Amino acid sequence: KNVRPWCGSHGTYSKHAPKGCPVSAFDHQGILVTSMWLASEQGSTQMTQCSASEVKGISYYTDQDVTLGQFLRDSCFNMSLKCQNPTCKKNVLEHTLSFVHKDGQININVETMDARLPTEAEYRAAMGEAPEEIQENSLRDDDGIAMWSYCTRCAKVVTPLCFMDDDTWRFSFGKFLEVSFYNKVATINDLLGEGSDDSKPCCG
């Protein structure tokens, strides 16, 4: 079955190697996901599809893929991004981007912060840390991408603030989806020691 590559080109994604080809690790360096935009009507919490879902074949670290940092910058933090449904007038903040693979589903929501986060340089200065030496061919923005873990059960942040480094920024988004779908035993460690249940690790 031919599916649309992540980059939107007219190439095809082949799940099976031609007969007679030796088996290699590269035969399993890809993932098929279904993506869709969801939105709720005003005054309702029920989510409905805004446009037809798309099946995307992502071969890791190819032109079918993007980096994790690029995905966050272009598909999550880009407030000018438009819904695929031309009749939909809702903005990015009113949508949920959903990825489905087998029996798993990942929903991505974007929200505005109540207060401005410090840039990476500002945070390091406040913590008394030396500025990080940025690689010459770095793809990161000057402000950096801040990361933390939030426990939905405890309803609070449970890890210290940290900033995405170059290796994480360059990590395959397709591989990130694979790890997220198949690592079902992952937990969020309460590094601040303030979680519920006597500060045992809590899960988000």
For residue 43, name the pLDDT band (cuts at 50, 70, 90).
low
- Phi first, then psi: what are they for 163, rounded to 5°? -120, 145
For residue 60, name the pLDDT band (cuts at 50, 70, 90).
very high
User: Quick check: 28 pLDDT over 80?
Assistant: no
What per-residue confidence (pLDDT) applies to 158?
Answer: 82
Q: Measuring CA to CA, which residue among 33, 77, 79 is closest to residue 172?
A: 33
**Which has more pLDDT, 188 or 72?**
72
What per-residue confidence (pLDDT) applies to 68?
Answer: 93
Average pLDDT, the chain: 76
What per-residue confidence (pLDDT) applies to 71?
Answer: 93
User: Quick check: 4 pLDDT over 80?
Assistant: no
Residue 84 near residue 37, CB atoms below 8 Å:
yes
pLDDT digit string (tens) for 76-91? 888 888 888 888 888 8
For residue 187, name the pLDDT band (cuts at 50, 70, 90).
low
Residue 48 near residue 36, CB atoms below 8 Å:
no
For residue 156, name the pLDDT band (cuts at 50, 70, 90).
confident
